Amino acid sequence: MKKLQMVDLKGQYDKIKQTVDASIQEVLDTTTYINGPEVHKFQKNLEEYLGVKHVIPCANGTDALQIAMMGLGLEPGDEVITADFTFAATVEVIALLQLTPVLVDVEPDSFNISVEAIRNAITPKTKAIVPVHLFGQTADMEAIMALAEEHNLYVIEDNAQAIGAEYTYADGTKKKAGTIGHVASTSFFPSKNLGCYGDGGAIFTNDDELAHKLRGIVNHGMYERYHHDVVGVNSRLDSVQAAVLNAKLPHLDDYNKARRAAADKYSKAFAGHADIITPVIKGDDESHVFHQYTLRILNADRNALMKHLLDKGIPCAIYYPIPLHSQKAYASGRYNEDDFTVTNQLVKEVISLPMHTELDDEQIAFITQAILDFLSI
């Protein structure tokens, strides 16, 4: 059996080595390391893939979120609602910009932000909502957009984990995750569904005026060379990373399909087990691109399970072990533990299994059997 890994970047690279190498070589030959033609080409390729008017490449997914918030003109003290159960980058940039993060609970089945919890957290100071499409599943965007419209709020999609996911509205309209809110961010961190070979990120929007603003912010607030109209940052996607992404983007749908197929095999193996809750896909199959495959394990010692798996050479991880509202940096007197019953429960139960584009049946059978064996002891 091939060695088990959370993510098999080498196996994936080997299959497209020629195109990736040629694409990188072109950058080396032309030495256009910064803002080379590959970056512009990737921007156009991704705009076309997503069906969005503007893609603004930048240095990483955390910058993308920060720049999106800067572009919207949010001001210190403005409240921004986001999920308690997510990676810290989301809340970090809110705090960094001196906006007030307002963490709310998530849904127990999708792990995504609860629309009811958002509604309850809205105050006159609320200016924006940041839904995170966690583990690759699109949040309930139709309800979130309706709520945002009702209260005149911006919606910033954190799409770092769900690039390529397709959300279906009640009337059958389909849109790609990251093209529904006013603006969205994504990450091309190597292990993400569309990963480069270093750091990378992008912001998406259909709003021409906002796109113009964002293009200046990523480049030191410059709209005309050496004229700094707004305070900006330096956040660039470099040409080598863009070259990698140009080679990989044509495979993204196949990659996501492979992830869904692996998830389906895992879930079939666990089906009906009383102590395992497999991931729930709330919309169409295409609404979930399985950045992670995350189980909830009931009535068992999760640490002992992890040890059992690691002893067998099966990597696994806890995304995420501590709710953000309990983190020292983000604790606040405004929170009440009763408001986070779902997140507080999930952090004790979740376990993520190896998930990538190269998982084979033998590996999946080995992993699932090891878990079933442990739970039957």
The binding site for ligand PLP (CB under 6 A) comprises 60-62, 86-87, 89-90, 132, 158, 160-161, 187, 189, 199, 201
Return all residues near 331 (Cβ < 8 A) that are at least 6 apart. 325
Identify the three-state secondary structure at position 154. Answer: strand
- Per DSSP, what are the bridge partners of residue 228? 222
How far apart are the C-alpha atoms of 104 and 83, rounded to whole Å? Answer: 5
Nearer to ligand PLP, 87 or 204 (CB): 87
Q: How far is the CB of 248 from ligand PLP (least distance, A)?
A: 16
Nearer to ligand PLP, 82 or 219 (CB): 82
Q: How far is the CB of 226 from ligand PLP (least distance, A)?
A: 29
Nearer to ligand PLP, 352 or 363 (CB): 352
Q: How far is the CB of 309 from ligand PLP (least distance, A)?
A: 23
Q: In the 3-class helix/strand/coil scheme, how is 317-356 assigned residue by residue?
A: ECCCCCCHHHCHHHCCCCCCHHHHHHHHHHHHHEEEECCC
Nearer to ligand PLP, 8 or 158 (CB): 158
How far apart are the C-alpha atoms of 111 and 135, rounded to whole Å? Answer: 8
Residue 160 neighbours by CB distance under 10 Å: 29
Let me know: does 271 contact 278? Beta carbons within 8 Å: yes
| Chain position whose Cβ is nearest to ligand PLP | 61
Q: How far is the CB of 53 from ligand PLP (least distance, A)?
A: 23
Cα angle, residue 68 at apex, residues 206 and 241 outer, rounded to 5°: 90
Q: How far is the CB of 161 from ligand PLP (least distance, A)?
A: 5
How far apart are the C-alpha atoms of 163 and 46, rounded to whole Å? Answer: 10
Identify the residue whose tokens are 């809205």.
122
Q: How far is the CB of 89 from ligand PLP (least distance, A)?
A: 4
Nearer to ligand PLP, 164 or 308 (CB): 164
Let me know: does 123 contact 79? Beta carbons within 8 Å: yes
How far apart are the C-alpha atoms of 240 and 242, rounded to whole Å? Answer: 5
Cα angle, residue 342 at apex, residues 139 and 375 outer, rounded to 5°: 105
Nearer to ligand PLP, 240 or 305 (CB): 240
Nearer to ligand PLP, 111 or 154 (CB): 111
Q: How far is the CB of 186 from ligand PLP (least distance, A)?
A: 8
Q: How far is the CB of 98 from ligand PLP (least distance, A)?
A: 19
Nearer to ligand PLP, 4 or 65 (CB): 65
Q: How far is the CB of 63 from ligand PLP (least distance, A)?
A: 7
**What tokens appear for 247 in the block?**
């080679």
| Extended strands (E) in the chain | 54-58, 79-83, 100-104, 126-130, 154-158, 166-168, 174-176, 183-187, 201-205, 222-224, 227-228, 276-277, 293-297, 350-353
Nearer to ligand PLP, 203 or 305 (CB): 203
